[in-house]
Amino acid sequence: MIRDHSLLNKLYFYTVKCQNVGRIQIGKLASTMASNQAHHATGLPAGIIAAAIVDHSGVTGPFYCWCWLALAAGVAGGTAPDWLEVAWWSKRRRLWITHRTLTHWGLGWIGLLIWSYKNVPIQPWYAGLIGFSCGCIMHLLADWPNPLGVPWILGRHSLNLWNSGRCDLLVVALAWLAAFFVGDHVWFHGIHELSLMHFVRA
Ligand SMILES: [Zn+2]
């Protein structure tokens, strides 16, 4: 009987442990998935902003090829700070660097954007770097409000507004709003911006 009890106790202990581990894993996965979805969804508006910047620099190329390159690179850059942390060459695909450190360094990506913008008239393929850095900056802006924060200059800074994965809809809406304003400013000389202002005031 005593044996049976200890066996039951063990069984109970392991069941509770498994449930808790499962819950934690699922919780972790859910929050990662949600913020990943936000990064995927903000990649396209980042690409549109990058294409507008390339167009503004006057380097568009035949069939706007350099703008298209910036757009594609912006989409890739939207998730880059996270996938650049993964050791893709290893079997276990662990992180080779601490999460949200060098790959999330704001000053680095902003510097790359400025440097690429200056160089794009000399070498048009810099349009790809403009796109990529725009995507990365958008990624950092989406990461900024949650408690872990982002190292813009040196130490991490957080806006502490919500946890990762929360308010994704707001993040995506703000990204599209930014793309609308930048795109409208470059391609339509702010016509839609003005009519939107009139609509809001009315
Ligand atoms: Zn991130």
Tens of pLDDT, residue by residue over 51-79, are 999 999 999 989 999 999 999 999 999 99
* 126 neighbors 120 (Cβ within 8 angstroms): yes
- The angle subtended at Cα 80 by Cα 84 and Cα 170, nearest 5°, is 140
CA 19 / ligand 1 centre spacing (Å): 28
Ligand 1 centroid–CA 161 distance in Å is 16
pLDDT at 25 over 80: no
Any idea where the domains of the chain sit in the sequence?
Answer: 37-201
pLDDT value for 111: 98
CA of 142 to the centre of ligand 1 (A): 8
Contact 67, 127 (CB under 8 A): yes
Mean residue pLDDT across the chain: 85
Dist. CA 201 → ligand 1 center (Å): 37
Q: Which amino acid is at 16?
A: V
63 vs 51: CA distance, rounded Å: 13
pLDDT, residue 10, reads 56
Top pLDDT among 104 and 15 is at 104
The candidate with the shortest Cα–Cα distance to 128, out of 84, 58, 66, is: 66
The Å distance, Cα 82 to ligand 1 centre, comes to: 5
Which is more confident, 12 or 117? 117
Distance 121 CA to ligand 1 centre (A): 31
Greatest alpha-carbon pair distance for the chain in Å reads 85
Distance from the CA of 162 to the center of ligand 1, in angstroms?
Answer: 15
Contacts 24+ apart (CB under 8 A), 181-186: 182/48, 182/49, 182/52, 182/53, 183/48, 183/49, 183/52, 185/52, 186/52, 186/53, 186/55, 186/56
- Answer with the residue of higher pLDDT: 5 or 125: 125
pLDDT in tens, 166-181: 788 999 999 999 999 9
32 pLDDT band, cuts 50/70/90, is very low
Which of 52, 35, 28 is CA-nearest to residue 142? 35
- For every residue of 178-196, which 3-state class applies, written as one string? HHHHHHHHHHCCCHHHHHH
Q: What is the mean pLDDT of residues 92-114?
A: 94
User: 10 C-alpha vs ligand 1 centroid, how far in Å?
Assistant: 40
Q: How confident is the model at residue 142 (pLDDT cuts 50, 70, 90)?
A: very high
